[in-house]
Amino acid sequence: MKRILKTTLIGTALALALSSPIMAAEVTSVNQAREEVAKGIAALVNDPTFDATFREQLSKGKAPLADVLRNYAEHGTQAREDATADLRDLERQAIRLRGLDGALEALFDIRVHGVDKGQPIASIRDFWTATVSKDPATGEKQVVAYDVAGQERRFSLDSTPDVPMLIVESDSSAAIRAGMSVMNEVLRNGGVQSSGGTRTSRVAGPEQLTLLKNIHLESDQEPNVQGDAEIFAIVSGVGPDGKAQLITKDMPWLDHDKRWYTPNMDLINWTDYGSNYVNVQLFEEDGNTNFKALAVAVTKAVGSLATVVSPGAPPALIVAGVSKVGAEILNAMDDKWFQNDADYVDSFYVIERGGNYGTTMKPLVGARGGAKMILAPYEVKGR
């Protein structure tokens, strides 16, 4: 009799929780979307079906939100379908706010935090649900968490309690891949990136590259609760037509500070440029970037330079033009890119074609001191 009563009470409580719709309200920022998703998931963690579904999708400490919700909805009940639809709508709003409509179908992951990752998780039904957001008043990053009773709690990044949590975050690897595609398309359409299709016709001999042999970040500004860093680069210079030329590069492997990486990456392909000098600037993607808006802002800033300098001009004039392009890229960034030293990492100005830069004992240090690199020239023959 007691068992029947207990089961009935649990079922009634669950029905009441799910019958209160999560309500996918219109959001105005990605931070707000993540907070609403975290709040919605907090209402589901005590559902045994959600618990089991999440753990089935869990791999390497993460589970894609879209996959969890898809499988969860398959277990029937209108309340579950409504909750799933509302959470997916919030995710789609976040995709739109990041300028990735049509480039990305799913954005959010749910990451496990505060547990021994080497041990299987028996249940998530006592877990808090959280996300990293920003204080609207100060702009400081904070953790917004919902405990098992659904009560909201806010913590600074360095005072977050070490309790088991489900962290709602962007799948930044997928977002950056899509974002680089969107940005490069906007840059091409804005006339500050030559079409890749013209590259082959410009190559009259061996293709000259500059390889990124090694790189080290002094600080990626990513506390443990926030997960790995996500770095991308903008390589800027003068195109063959004398106009500013900008190309973005994804660096998904560059995810921690205080560590040397050896990617041997083709960072610069000199056939994309009409002069012997470029800048390399590094940025950390914080999960809120609107890639389309960023590309439009950068295009507007460097596009206003019109013809920067003729590729045949004296080297000093070309160097001045290339440096001006790098300065305008930073001028185009929203102020939030420079809050908390998180999003703008470093700049390496006037890298020369064919140059060797840095050694293991004495690497090339960026203007801000936030990154170190070793660069080396390389020729591709017979392509």
- Write out pLDDT tens, residues 356-379: 999 999 999 999 999 999 999 999
Q: How far apart are CA 351 and CA 235, in angstroms?
A: 10
- Decide: 140 and 221 in contact? Cβ < 8 Å: no
Instruction: Give the distance from CA 350 to its chain's centroid.
Output: 26
What pLDDT is recorded for position 104? 92
Q: How far apart are CA 249 and CA 346, in angstroms?
A: 15
Q: Encoding tokens for residue 254?
A: 């560059």
Handedness of CA 286, 287, 288, 292 (dihedral sign): positive
Range list of H helices, the chain: 2-19, 30-42, 48-57, 65-73, 78-97, 172-189, 199-202, 291-303, 315-332
Q: Which regions in the chain score pLDDT beneath 50?
A: 1-22, 197-202, 340-342
Nearest to 98 by CA among 190, 185, 174, 175: 175
Handedness of CA 286, 150, 158, 62 (dihedral sign): negative
Q: How far apart are CA 213 and CA 199, in angstroms?
A: 24
The amino acid present at 273, given as its one-letter code, is Y
Cα angle: 224, vertex 229, 234; to 5 degrees = 165
Handedness of CA 55, 60, 61, 64 (dihedral sign): negative
Name the helix (H) or strand (E) containing 350: strand 344-352
Instruction: Give the distance from CA 323 to its chain's centroid.
Output: 26
What pLDDT is recorded for position 6? 35
What pLDDT is recorded for position 245? 86
Q: What is the DSSP string of 271-310?
A: GG-SSSEEEEEEEE--S---HHHHHHHHHHHHHTT-B---
Q: Which residues pair with 260 in a beta bridge?
A: 216
What pLDDT is recorded for position 354? 95
Nearest to 283 by CA among 365, 341, 369, 215: 341
Q: Encoding tokens for residue 274?
A: 């009409």
pTM of the model: 0.79
What pLDDT is recorded for position 4? 37
- Decide: 179 and 291 in contact? Cβ < 8 Å: yes
Provide the pairing of β-strand 128-134 with 165-170: parallel
Q: How far apart are CA 345 and CA 341, in angstroms?
A: 7
Q: How far apart are CA 109 and CA 73, in angstroms?
A: 17
What pLDDT is recorded for position 383? 54
Range list of H helices, 190-233: 199-202
